[in-house]
Amino acid sequence: MAGKPAGGGTPATDALTAAGVPFTLHPYTHHDDSRDYGAEAARELGVDELQIFKTLVVDVGIGRSPLAVGIVPVAAQLDLKAFATAVGAKKATMAKPADAARSSGYVVGGISPIAQKAPLPTVLDETAQLFDTVFVSAGRRGLQVELAPADLLAITGATWGDIAR
């Protein structure tokens, strides 16, 4: 079921709609004092932290854009060494929050892997394949989008990788 969030769509929901990708929106109450955005989403929506995926912008220092995107379960951490290998880099470090926001066009805590301002090399953790659907940010805090892992892979141009620990 596709739908628009109250107050209009986000670049992510607009891209999904335009591509004809089936998705379901899940709004929830975001608390301003929360800094663990993925855990908050899981808790508020009553969804397993292994099925909700966080979008992490990573500095890999290669190519025209030194940034790349890792998508991993909120219950896990990004394995930076495995991620670097997956994108063909020598090393990887977390991007500065301001760089992540600027590159993606989204606010930190609401960065969606879908329809980022600057398309970046993207790797989706292979555990997403364990679920019929996964959740990722829809492009703002307090809004998740649920879709099939294969659709997430296709719309982001991602590759599968063993990048979580």
The pLDDT of 6-27, averaged and rounded, is 90
> Does 34 or 82 have the greater pLDDT score?
82
Nearest to 40 by CA among 147, 137, 156, 155: 137
Four-point Cα dihedral 100, 103, 105, 106, nearest 10: -10
Is the predicted pLDDT of residue 5 greater than 80, yes or no? Answer: no
Residue 48, pLDDT score: 95
For the whole prediction, is pTM greater than 0.95? Answer: no
Overall fold of domain 11-161: YbaK protein (3.90.960)
State the amino acid at position 8 in one-letter form: G
Q: Is 81 helix (H, G, I), strand (E, B) or coil?
A: helix
The tokens for 22 are 């089936």
Residue 36, pLDDT score: 84
Is the predicted pLDDT of residue 12 greater than 60, yes or no? Answer: yes
Q: What confidence tens digit (pLDDT) does each residue in 97-146 have?
A: 999 999 999 999 999 999 999 889 999 999 999 999 999 999 999 999 99
Give CA–CA dist 12/8, Å, rounded.
11
Taking the chain, what is the end-to-end CA distance rounded to the nearest angstrom? 32
Q: What confidence tens digit (pLDDT) does each residue in 40-93 have?
A: 999 999 999 999 999 999 999 876 669 999 999 999 999 999 999 999 999 999
Is the predicted pLDDT of residue 2 greater than 60, yes or no? Answer: no
